[in-house]
A and B are shown apart, each in its own frame.
Chain A
Amino acid sequence: MISKLFQFLSSLRLTVVLLGLGVVVVFFGTLGQTSDGLYVAQEQYFRSWFAYWTPHGSTFPVVPLPGGYLLGTMLVINLIVAHFTRFKWTWSKSGIFLTHIGIILLLLGQLATDMLARESIMSFREGDTRNYSESSMDFELAFLRSAGSNTLDQVVAIPAVRLKPGDELHHELLPFGIRVKDAYENARIRLRAPVMDSNRPPAATQGVGARIVIDAQPPTRTMDARNVPAAVIELSGPSNLGTWAVSGELKPQTVTVEGTEWRLEYRSVRDYKPFALTLLKTTHETYPGTDIPKNFQSRVRLRNTESHEDREVDIYMNSPLRYGGYTFFQYQMGKEQLADGGRGTSALQVVRNPSWITPYLGCILVGVGLLVQFLMHLTKFIARRKPRAA
């Protein structure tokens, strides 16, 4: 029984089927991207074990598909099992061996990238200093209080996905429980205009929530827009602290519990760095007579108090800053943003990918393996031809 299983797992037929299915998944993933957008399609078709394709406008899943994780895992298993069951090490097959190792490295490297790589955005105005970057997709409900010093905050951050209507959340560091009354994936906040909104109660009883309403919006799937979530939460501690409206559009609000001041803020998930960047100058050049960008350039000051580094760096297209395991790419610099109060603004894309080296290594191994195998065949061929010629 087990030998049959190994036979199946090591078969070349399985490899071909898996690669064929890979083509199919890429095809339907591309179709899905047109209606659902890149990020949703990525999650649905490639970062999943099983997927199904639904025609646009239908709610009925039509084509069941294996997800990217399933295909990748099966390919790795197929390769490894085949290697151990059928492959016998000889020098003459060292090229194939290297190629296989390279492919396994590529597959595992992709998995590691998927697990470990993080992309975020650092956006600031000229003169601003940032020691954190923000997720472009994910939000968190952060509760902050002073950590006993004037410069540090104690932060308890609840991911947006945990905020589901009706749920109650508790944390040992929070002196209150959180009951989620409403949660919106995408919503717009505006002042409650008494004439227009006389039939609508304010979003919440406390803080700015008492003066606003929340308009739910359809979730966006496009690349150039972003969902801004909102929620209405009820805080109950030693006493009922009322309901609060939180949104990615609102600034921090303050609630005092047993003499301690807590700030609550619904914000992009932050990734703090052990160093800080200050935006000194933005340069935004276009080709004469057009709006076509010629050069976006940010001059930043990099300061690391631990290593006592303090230097200025230019970040521009194709010339990112690589520092501390992060890569900072020039990302956005809108013209209208430049006009904002006379101070230029810049957004840097911050990428952290500890496994960035694996695709390079994998490709080198595959290349070297194929070359070795080819050269071995070539030398054998030439050696065979020589006696015949003689």
Chain B
Amino acid sequence: MRFTVVTVVSALAWMAVGCGKDEIRVYQAPQDAPPVAAANPQGKTTQTPLASEIPGSAASGSSSPARSESSASERPAVPWTVPAGWEEKPASGMRVASYGVTRPDGRSVDISVVAMGGGAGGELENVNRWRDQIGLEPATEADLAGLRSIIPAGNRQVVMYELDGKKAVLDGKYPARTLAAIMPAGEMTVFFKITGESALVAEQKPQFLAWLKSVDTGGGGESAPEASASSSAPAPASPAAVSGGSERASGGGADGLPNWQVPSGWKAAGPKPMRLASFDIPDAAGNGDVSISKLSGNGGGLLANVNRWRGQVGLAPLEAGALAANSKTVATAGGDSGTWVELVGTEKTILGAIVARGEVSWFFKLTAPSAVAAQNREAFEQFVRSIRF
């Protein structure tokens, strides 16, 4: 009897351990209410769908779990050289990296790298958000050209904005200044930004520029973002992006260009304004020219672009309703579809494909003497069909 009691108590104690914690649970539960709109670290509601899928510390409010902070030595290596004096801070939310500089008198600057999907809301909207943060009035699209400069980042040229606030927005004592560089990369846009007390930002500007220069942008070069196409200072494109043989490495796109198969006989051409890539088609009857460019939005409209091309080969513009009858749809290997036009003029022919993808439109265009264009028509169409974004 006594022994039984002891056995029962021991057995109960044993059962108490590890009971049920590892079981798969099945239950019915009321559905969750739809989530509240997520906010990005800048404090505005984000436009990109991805941002709402990745809750940062700000996005998920109090339910966001605290994270452990790893030391700098445990972080993955970053593809740039961190300037001396910059202190690494834990990246959070959509930040890929975060640095800071603090002076004993309390002045500080914050340096961030943020990657966002697509155009991340557009250049004007981003610039105006930064302006708002340092107490500047919103700019208009027309103002942008005057505000931007083109600077080197790695082996590319990117757009940078320098915004100088006059109001004492920091602690009511100091005005703030922001330098922000925008680097399109594939389907994403990477923002490099330094912001903080005006004089300290100015002092750190050489470091910031050197930092951008040190960014490893990979093998391929690329021009400034397409938005700069509307500016008066078009950036040169690098031939490196398209010189790597007949087929671009798969899994690439790091330089913002899609993958494609280059027909034999095409030669990668040197830098040209407003273009992301160019090819020459050498021919005794006159060289053909292939250009690849990208514009934000619909690039001014499908019809307007087709009519501009028509003008270039001496054709009359089309009425809005006539475009469908004068174009066809072309599908790319990546599953995108575009509008294909063949504009045969008396001397020159333009073959073009316009592919709208989200917030940008891609333009693939072959311009050549009509005979050369005709000979290269199949090759150009195969080139367009081979494109994978």
Binding site for B on A (CB under 8 A): 2, 6, 9, 47, 49, 69, 72-73, 76-77, 80-81, 84-85, 111, 114-115, 123-125, 128-129, 131-132, 134, 138, 140, 146-147, 150-159, 161-162, 169, 171, 173, 186, 188-196, 198, 201, 208, 211-212, 215, 217-220, 222, 224-228, 248-251, 253, 268, 270, 272, 332, 334, 337, 340-341, 345-347
Contact = CB atoms under 8 A, between A and B. Distances in A.
Most buried by B among A156, A161, A194, A222: A194
23 contacts: A47-B17, A73-B10, A80-B6, A84-B2, A151-B30, A152-B31, A153-B29, A153-B31, A154-B28, A191-B116, A191-B188, A194-B186, A194-B190, A195-B154, A195-B185, A198-B252, A215-B76, A225-B66, A227-B68, A249-B65, A250-B53, A250-B54, A345-B61
B36 interface: yes
Nearest to A170: B24
A162 B22 contact: yes
Contacts of A217: 67-68, 70, 74
B202 to A, nearest CB: 27
A218 to B, nearest CB: 6
B74 A152 contact: no
Given A212-B54, A225-B66, A9 B6 contact: yes
Interface of B: 2-3, 5-6, 9-10, 13, 16-17, 19, 21-31, 33, 35-36, 39, 50, 52-55, 58, 60-63, 65-70, 74, 76, 78-79, 91, 94, 96, 113, 115-117, 154, 183, 185-188, 190, 215-218, 251-254, 256
A268 B5 CA distance: 40
A159 B24 contact: yes
Given A6-B2, A80-B6, A220 B68 contact: yes
A270 B29 contact: yes
B27 A190 contact: no
A47 to B, nearest CB: 8
Contacts of B79: 195-196
B50 A208 contact: yes
Give the 10 A-B residue pairs with the shortest CB-CB distance, closest first: A220-B68, A345-B62, A193-B115, A198-B254, A194-B186, A194-B185, A73-B13, A157-B25, A226-B65, A225-B66
B96 A196 contact: yes
A155 B132 CA distance: 45
A157 B186 CA distance: 37
Contacts of A153: 28-31
Residue of B61, B94, B215 with most partner-chain A CB within 10 A: B61
Contact of B24 (A6, A152, A171, A226): A171
Contacts of B217: 195
A336 B22 CA distance: 36
Given A190-B54, A196-B96, A158 B24 contact: yes
Contacts of B2: 6, 81, 84-85
A197 to B, nearest CB: 9
B5 to A, nearest CB: 6
Contacts of A250: 53-55
Given A9-B6, A196-B115, A272-B30, 11 more contacts: A81-B6, A154-B28, A191-B54, A193-B185, A195-B185, A208-B50, A225-B66, A225-B67, A340-B39, A345-B61, A347-B62
Contact of B54 (A84, A208, A346, A347): A208
A62 to B, nearest CB: 25
A2 B1 CA distance: 13
A153 B68 CA distance: 33
A17 to B, nearest CB: 18
Contacts of A249: 54-55, 60, 65
A287 B136 CA distance: 36
A115 B17 CA distance: 8
B115 A191 contact: yes
Contacts of B251: 201
Given A123-B63, A159-B22, A194-B188, A219 B68 contact: yes
A318 B266 CA distance: 79
A225 B22 contact: no
A84 B5 contact: yes
A232 to B, nearest CB: 16
B141 to A, nearest CB: 27
Contact of A111 (B13, B27, B33, B63): B13
A154 B25 CA distance: 11
B54 A69 contact: no
